[in-house]
């Protein structure tokens, strides 16, 4: 039953570019990118209770790294910019995560918010590298002799990477590390008493979260094809937080569903720019008040296992 | 740089600093009562200032009345939000309430954009714009007026917190909620009062600052500087909020004189990150011990 559902889902995802018009293929790529960010953010916020309002900053670091690597080494296969994006962003995550160990709750939220602002300012000022306000054009991703120039090719690239990331995250939550992170969420003190090295795992969560967001940033650069600093403002960070709140904190499938719901909503409300934050805000409040576990817990409830 | 020019910059820094201090005080009032951060504080300031402005446009009332209208609007808005939304999340974690106020700030900002567009509007000022010469130093009346009005408001708040029944109740709730309840204090009423009081302080700050930075749906962003000010002074402390606000205002105004202009906008954020790392209890505060 489960296998069959997975197989049908995989077939639907693979067949999507042949059934849907090209704009919806682009939208699907965007959903996968956002889903990777949401999973990364959820590993941090949902599993270790460290709320971040700065993930747009990590996304920007990943996107610009990938774009710059792809521009400087035009022949390099797409793996190179993506790995570079992952590593650089993870390093930034480590640099931010270690000092942030001392912070929690509101303070951490605010420090990460500040980080997001600083990244945008840095992009504006490092214009010899990032071309500042003019924006940076991203060359097409290359895989050996092929340039992945069309929406369809890019979709398959994003889908492949996304599938690996989802698989890795699901597995991670079932390992010793994943259980340690969950223990931290339930009670930091109890986790420590059971031998979980709090500082190490909290930092690890930060690094993994940054790495996920960096990979997503790299994919984002190729999907969108043009980067400018104003795309990475604080409202994007808020959107990411909204995705995991709506999808469900501490749930990998929830992150994916949340990302899909909010990305589609974001897109379908494009004609109502003025009302979009109004609706997003209402959704945030409503999910906090009436559905604190997000869509994931609603599913669990329907399946009958009360949490 | 002459010393007269530096004094001018410091005074205008103190003026913006007063506004940050008032914002920080509003955040701290709500934090002390409910242990949550109200992300929507800046948007509440913005909405109440807009309501005052709308009345001014329509009826051309004197500015004092406009401020009164803004205050009443802020009080009503805060009371409604607290009763309709926040009260229902009373058992939730601060994480949940933070998200709710984040949602509120999105909604209020968007609502203001729908009602009044996202443009900038000039706002009438209480104070003239002819600079006053004090010796060799030229000072803007607006700066002095903002500082004076803010100090007066802070003094009034100090009297409220130390001399009145409500103030004592609020301080008791801040110290220990259960003990306060056992002493017969209605903690729920203190919650409402805190939201209303914080919004009123915000409304006054909004009417004071709007002539300087223009009235716009974006002015709610001042909440971030208010938070930084509160952290600078040690989050939860009122005198700390005042010191932190003034400090932030002066540093922010002085920094461009001595630092490359490219990092001007990042100064408050870098300051926040640095202060959180080296003295998370704030410059005048102490680190709170966490209980199991």
Of B95, B102, B270, nearest to A284 by CB-CB distance is B102
User: Is B286 part of any domain?
Assistant: no
The alpha-carbon radius of gyration of chain B (Å, integer) is 19
Task: Please tell me whether residue B121 adopts helix, strand or coil conformation.
Answer: strand
| Domain region containing B154 | 3-278
* Count of domains observed in chain B: 1
Of A118, A274, A275, nearest to B266 by CB-CB distance is A118
Instruction: Decide: pTM greater than 0.90.
Output: no
Q: Looking at the predicted structure, is the pLDDT value of residue A307 above 50? A: no
Q: Give residue A60's pLDDT.
A: 94
Which residues in B lie closer than 8 A to residue A102 (C-beta atoms)?
Answer: 276-277, 280
pLDDT in tens, A221-252: 999 988 999 889 888 998 999 999 998 888 88
pLDDT in tens, A252-292: 888 999 999 999 988 888 778 778 888 888 988 888 888 87
Q: Which of A46, A97, A110 to mutate to test the interface with B (most CBs of B within 10 A)?
A: A110
Tell me how close the Cα of B98 comes to any Cα of chain A, in angstroms. 8
User: Angle at the Cα of B46 (from B237 to B266), degrees rounded to 5?
Assistant: 65
ipTM above 0.85, yes or no: no
Q: Give residue B291's pLDDT.
A: 47
Which residues in A lie closer than 8 A to residue B88 (C-beta atoms)?
Answer: 289
User: Is B288 part of any domain?
Assistant: no
Of B107, B114, B292, nearest to A281 by CB-CB distance is B107
Q: Give residue A134's pLDDT.
A: 80
Q: Give residue B292's pLDDT.
A: 44
Measured CA to CA, the distance from residue A242 to residue A284 in angstroms comes to 6
Q: Give residue B283's pLDDT.
A: 67
Tell me how close the Cα of B107 comes to any Cα of chain A, in angstroms. 4
User: Is B285 part of any domain?
Assistant: no
- Of all residues in chain B, the one with the smallest CA distance to A234 is B221
Beta strand pairing status for B137-139 and A146-148? unpaired
Tell me how close the Cα of B126 comes to any Cα of chain A, in angstroms. 33
User: Is B233 part of any domain?
Assistant: yes
Note whether A125 contacts B263, CB cutoff 8 Å. Answer: yes
Which CATH number belongs to the domain containing residue B199 in this structure?
1.10.3470
Note whether A106 contacts B37, CB cutoff 8 Å. Answer: yes
User: Is B132 part of any domain?
Assistant: yes
Q: Which two tokens stand for residue A198?
A: 């709090």
Note whether B100 contacts A289, CB cutoff 8 Å. Answer: yes
Note whether A102 contacts B262, CB cutoff 8 Å. Answer: no
Q: Which two tokens stand for residue A49?
A: 């209770």
B100 touches chain A (CB under 8 A): yes
Give the residue numbers in A contacting B (CB under 8 Å), as ranges.
49, 51, 99, 102-103, 105-107, 109-111, 113-115, 117-118, 121-122, 125, 189, 238, 241, 245, 274-278, 280-285, 288-289, 292
Q: Give residue B201's pLDDT.
A: 93
Of A106, A277, A292, nearest to B96 by CB-CB distance is A292
H-run or E-run covering B132: strand B132-134
pLDDT in tens, A182-227: 888 888 888 888 888 888 888 899 999 999 999 999 999 999 988 9
Q: Which of B264, B263, B190, B269 is nearest to B231 (CA)?
A: B269
pLDDT in tens, A25-73: 888 999 999 999 999 999 988 888 888 899 999 999 999 999 999 888 8
The alpha-carbon radius of gyration of chain A (Å, integer) is 19
Measured CA to CA, the distance from residue B94 to residue B97 in angstroms comes to 5
Where do the domains of chain A lie?
A: 23-232
Which residues in A lie closer than 8 A to residue B103 (C-beta atoms)?
Answer: 280-285, 288
pLDDT in tens, A106-160: 788 888 888 898 898 888 888 888 887 788 888 887 777 777 777 888 888 889 8
User: Is B291 part of any domain?
Assistant: no
Which residues in A lie closer than 8 A to residue B227 (C-beta atoms)?
Answer: 110
Q: What is the DSSP letter of B215?
A: B
Note whether A274 contacts B114, CB cutoff 8 Å. Answer: yes
Full 3-state SS string of chain A? CHHHHHHHHHHHHHHHHHHCCHHHHHHHHHHHHHHHHHHHHHHHHHHHCCCCCCHHHHHHHHHHHHHHHHHHCCCCCCHHHHHHHHHHHHHHHHHHHHHHCCCCHHHHHHHHHHHHHHHHHHHHHCHHHHCHHHCEECCCEEECCEEECCHHHHHHHHHHHHHHHHHHHHHHHCCHHHHHHHHHHHCHHHHHHCCCCHHHHHHHHHHHHHHHHHHHHHHHHHHHCEECHHHHCHHHHHHHHHHHHHHCCCCHHHHHHHHHHHHHHHHHCHHHHHHHHHHHHHHHHHHHHHCCCHHHHHHHHHHCCCC
Which residues in chain B land under pLDDT 50?
Answer: 290-292
Q: How confident is the model at residue A305 (pLDDT cuts 50, 70, 90)?
A: low
């Amino acid at each position: 039953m489960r296998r069959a559902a997975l197989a049908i889902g995989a077939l639907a995802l693979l067949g999507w570019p042949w059934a849907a018009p090209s704009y919806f293929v682009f939208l699907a790529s965007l959903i996968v990118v956002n889903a990777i960010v949401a999973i990364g953010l959820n590993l941090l916020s949902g599993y270790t209770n460290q709320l971040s309002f700065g993930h747009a900053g990590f996304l920007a670091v990943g996107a610009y790294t990938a774009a710059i690597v792809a521009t400087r080494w035009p022949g390099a296969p797409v793996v190179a910019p993506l790995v570079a994006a992952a590593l650089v962003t993870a390093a930034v995550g480590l640099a931010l995560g270690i000092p942030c160990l001392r912070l929690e709750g509101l303070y951490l939220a605010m420090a990460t918010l500040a980080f997001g602002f600083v990244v945008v300012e840095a992009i504006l000022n490092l214009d010899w590298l990032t071309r500042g306000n003019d924006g940076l054009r991203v060359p097409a991703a290359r895989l050996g002799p092929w340039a992945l120039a069309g929406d369809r090719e890019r979709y398959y690239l994003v889908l492949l990477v996304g599938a690996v990331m989802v698989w890795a995250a699901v597995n991670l939550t079932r390992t010793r590390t994943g259980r340690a992170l969950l223990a931290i969420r339930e009670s930091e003190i109890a986790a420590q008493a059971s031998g979980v090295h709090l500082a190490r795992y909290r930092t690890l969560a930060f690094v993994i979260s940054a790495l996920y967001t960096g990979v997503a940033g790299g994919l984002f650069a190729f999907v969108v094809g043009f980067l400018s600093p104003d795309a990475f403002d604080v409202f994007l960070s808020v959107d990411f937080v909204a995705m995991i709140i709506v999808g469900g904190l501490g749930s990998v499938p929830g992150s994916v569903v949340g990302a899909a719901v909010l990305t589609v909503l974001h897109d379908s409300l494009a004609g109502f720019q003025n009302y979009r934050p109004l609706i997003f805000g209402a959704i945030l409040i409503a999910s906090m008040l009436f559905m604190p576990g997000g869509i994931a817990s609603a599913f669990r409830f329907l399946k009958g296992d009360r949490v | 740089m002459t010393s007269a020019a530096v004094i001018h910059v410091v005074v205008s820094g103190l003026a913006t600093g007063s506004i940050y201090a008032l914002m920080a005080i509003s955040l701290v009032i709500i934090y002390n009562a409910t242990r949550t951060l109200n992300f929507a504080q800046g948007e509440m300031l913005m909405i109440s200032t807009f309501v005052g402005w709308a009345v001014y446009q329509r009826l051309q009332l004197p500015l004092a009345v406009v401020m009164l209208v803004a205050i009443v609007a802020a009080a009503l808005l805060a009371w409604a939000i607290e009763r309709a939304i926040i009260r229902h999340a009373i058992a939730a974690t601060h994480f949940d309430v933070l998200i709710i106020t984040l949602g509120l700030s999105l909604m209020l900002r968007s609502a203001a954009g729908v009602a009044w567009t996202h443009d900038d509007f000039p706002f009438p000022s209480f104070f003239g714009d002819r600079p006053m010469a004090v010796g060799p130093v030229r000072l803007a009346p607006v700066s002095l007026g903002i500082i004076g009005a803010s100090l007066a408001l802070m003094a009034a708040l100090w009297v409220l917190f130390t001399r009145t029944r409500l103030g004592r109740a609020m301080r008791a709730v801040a110290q220990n909620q259960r003990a306060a309840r056992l002493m017969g204090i209605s903690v729920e009423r203190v919650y409402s009062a805190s939201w209303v009081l914080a919004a009123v302080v915000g409304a006054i700050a909004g009417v004071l600052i709007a002539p300087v930075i223009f009235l716009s749906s974006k002015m709610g962003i001042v909440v971030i500087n208010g938070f930084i000010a509160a952290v600078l002074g040690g989050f939860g402390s009122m005198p700390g909020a005042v010191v932190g606000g003034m400090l932030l205002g002066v540093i922010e105004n002085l920094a461009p004189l001595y630092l490359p202009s490219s990092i001007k906008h990042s100064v408050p954020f870098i300051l926040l990150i640095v202060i959180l790392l080296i003295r998370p209890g704030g410059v005048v505060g102490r680190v709170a011990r966490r209980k199991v």
